[in-house]
Structures are given as structure tokens and as C-alpha cells.
Amino acid sequence: MNYIDIIGDDLKKVDEQIKAFLLSKQKVLEVALRELLEAGGKRIRPALVLLSGKFGKYDDKKLIPLAAAVEILHMATLVHDDIIDDSKMRRGRPTVQSRWGKDIAVFTGDFLFAKTFLLLAHSTTVENMRSLSKVVKAICEGEIAQYQSRYDKGVTVRQYLKRIGRKTALLFALSCYIGAHESQCSSKVLRCLREFGFNFGMAFQITDDLLDFTGDAAKTGKPVGSDFIQGVYTLPLIYAINSSYGEEVIKILDKESYDAEDVKRVIELVHASGGIEYSRNMAKSYLDRARAFIEGLTPIPAKAALENLLDGLADRSY
């Protein structure tokens, strides 16, 4: 069952709340925010808030503002991420920093962070505010770790997994947790949904990183190979560097700049090394863990929707 079938109307209300809450009297900021919103997105994180709430006393008046806050926080991290990576495109559109410059992008990201906490202050408990603050801290640490490890050919699988746990998976876990917490779910259900979110988030990021080597730029909205060109070495490439193909991979990565043939060759070597298969298997192991954590939950439509998300990620090609 698709999550839109269950919470589609409430997700529309989430989008309406985001649009209403992000109004600004500053013209440049208003235009930048509008373009950011128009870029779209699957709204997975707010969907997790709402779906998790279905396992308890679902109250849309409480959950919709929380779901909106989670998505605004995610938008803030994307804006800052694009600044750090000097990304030109996001979801097939120019990024805020490429359209308006890094200064406006920094202010836009900061504005979004401020709006997140302002919205939460009016709609959730101090405990959830504390939890979200910890996640924001972890996201920042994950981004810093990624920045510091750029062009580091010695980065390990363990370091990579720790990085994406902080950068991505913790926000998925929090989305599930606060939705369930606000709906007064039992401690057992809280734990199951939180762990589901974390493992789903790990699989989500590994799958996203795979698309740098297997995706279609027209569908993903960014050039193939853009991660490693910017010095961000993800799981498929880390595996290739440590394989029998590692010497040739490193020889190319050591170049001061890459031409189209270099990018093509690195992608070929990642495939030949087994890095794609290894990464897919790793993503599948996290999906299996996520599925196991919700196996014992009440078989309501929301559970079917969570399982459908797992199935969809397993088949994701863009």
C-alpha cells in the first residue's frame, strides 16, 4: 500500500503549512525559498512522522506541524550541503547557492533552521526539541566528517557508515520517533519505529550513493560521478579502492582534474570490482533489519505503507 493512499491529504496540509510558514518580507529570500519549494521532493521524512503516528493516537493537529518542521529542517541541510559541495544542480534545478550565491544560500539555510525550531517550539515537547537538537548536532558533525575526508583514499567502510548514520539515518529515525512519541505509542513501538527509521535511512543513503555510479543524470538531477569528482568517496568507490582494481582507481583519483574518459573509467572500475553489488547487498541488509523491526507491529495500513517504502527503495533506480 502506497503511503499517499493513507496520508496523502495530510501531506498536502504539511506542504501548505510549510509554504505559509516560510513567508518572508525579504524579496530575495522569499524567491529563493519559493524556488526551493517548487523543486519538490518525495516528502519521505514527513511521511514517516505521519505513518508512525498511525500506530498510536493519531492527532493531525499535532503531527502536521511536526512533519512540516522535519521537512524544513531537511531543506536547511540540503541548502548548506550544496554550499559545502559547491553543487550546481539539485533535483534537476539550480541550487540556491548557484542561483543566488553562497552568501544568500547561507542566510537561507540559517533562516530554515530558525523556522524549524520556531515551529517546533509551538508544537512539541521539550523532550522532542532536545532530541531534534541532538540530531542537528549529529548532522553537522556528519557533514564536517564528510568534508574533512574529501579526497581521502584511506577512508574505511566503517567510517563511511558512521558518516551516513549521522548525516542521514538519524533524521529518519527521529521522524519515526517523534511521530510515535506524540501519538503516545508504547516504549516498545517507539523503539521499533525508531530502529526502522535508522536502518531505512542507512539503506536510503547507500542507495542514493549508488546512483552516482548507476543513475541517469536526467532522472537524478545531477551528473553521474559528481560525488567522487568533488572528493566525496562513497561505499562503491571505497570498495573499489580496496579491491584488485585499486591501483588503477587511485591513479585516476590522484589526477588534479578529471576529463569525461577518467569519470567513465572510474565508473567502469567500480562495476568491475564488485563495488556496486557489494553496496546493493549492504543496502539490502539494512532494509532487512528495518523490516524485522516492524514485523511484530499491529498489521494496520500504515505498516503496509512502511513495508511498501522498503520495497520501493530496493527497486529504486533514480
Task: Note down pLDDT in tens along the chain; length 318 residues.
Answer: 788 899 999 999 999 999 888 888 888 888 888 888 777 778 999 999 999 999 999 999 999 999 999 999 999 988 888 888 777 877 777 888 888 788 888 989 999 989 898 888 877 778 878 888 888 888 888 888 888 899 999 999 999 999 999 999 999 999 999 999 999 999 999 999 999 999 999 999 999 999 999 977 666 667 788 899 989 999 999 999 999 999 999 999 999 999 999 999 999 999 999 999 999 999 999 999 999 999 999 999 999 999 999 999 988 755
The C-alpha cell of 286 is what? 539494512
Provide the whole-model pTM. 0.92
Indicate the fold that domain 3-314 takes in CATH: Farnesyl Diphosphate Synthase (1.10.600)
In the chain, where the domains are located: 3-314
Using CA atoms, how far residue 36 sits from 17, 42, 72, 100, 278, in Å, is 15, 14, 11, 12, 34
- The pLDDT value recorded for residue 219 is 66
